[in-house]
Amino acid sequence: MDSNTLFDFSVDRENKIIRIAREFDADAELVWQAWTTAEILDQWCAPNPFRTETKALDFREGGFWHYALVSPEGNKHWSRYDYKKIELQKSITELRAFSDENGRISPAFLPTECTITFSETNGKTRVTMTEKYRSPEMFERMATDSHKKGFSSHLKNLDRLLSTLKNN
């Protein structure tokens, strides 16, 4: 990531919203593919040194992504993102929740609604994520510098991957 690449992480404590904006040096079609294809998601969508392992991905309205965040020791932390609305290469609205290995949503925390938008200008794609937390505990857990660093880390992974994919 060059120093001029946009990365913004803002916290709205009153409304329990986190907004993350990031620019990528790739066209919207490639960035969209990286966000919606299991084999590509597994290559970037985890903060270092973790990795992502997809169990199921059904990318359509009413579908879901069920995956594990895998620690270097092999411990798996399961999540499920249920797709509520999809506008091809423009936006995704999903409900994010912790789950078990079988995809059952954990009742311990209310799901977080996340809307991701994609916009391309001059071959660069801006991705904006708006996370609306219904769980005050989860919001406090995510509205931290640690989460910001982790998110920045996995978006840097995407930068490196997009560069490789563009050159192939």
Which tens digit of pLDDT belongs to each residue from 66-95?
999 999 999 999 999 999 999 999 999 999
- Return the pLDDT at 109: 84
What is the reported pLDDT for 4? 54
Residue 22 in 3-state DSSP?
Answer: strand
2 touches 22 (CB < 8 A): no
Q: What is the dihedral of CA 158, 84, 112, 54, to 10 degrees?
A: -50
The residues of the chain scoring below 70 in pLDDT are: 1-4
- Position 9 scores a pLDDT of 95
Q: How far apart are CA 112 and CA 60, in angstroms?
A: 18
C-beta of residue 99 within 8 angstroms of C-beta of residue 112: no
pLDDT of residue 43: 96
Outline where DSSP puts E strands in the chain. 7-12, 17-24, 51-57, 64-70, 76-87, 91-98, 112-121, 124-132
- Collapse the DSSP code of 88 into the 3-class scheme (helix H, G, I; strand E, B; otherwise coil) and give the result: coil
pTM: 0.93
Contact indicator for 52, 67 with CB cutoff of 8 Å: yes
CATH class of 7-166: alpha beta
- Beta carbons of 148 and 131 less than 8 angstroms apart: no
- Rg of the chain over Cα atoms, rounded to whole angstroms, equals 15
Q: Which residues contact 79 (CB under 8 A, 6 or more apart)?
A: 66, 67, 68, 69, 96, 97, 98, 99
Residue at token pair 């932390």: 77
Q: Are strands 112-121 and 124-132 parallel, antiparallel or unpaired?
A: antiparallel
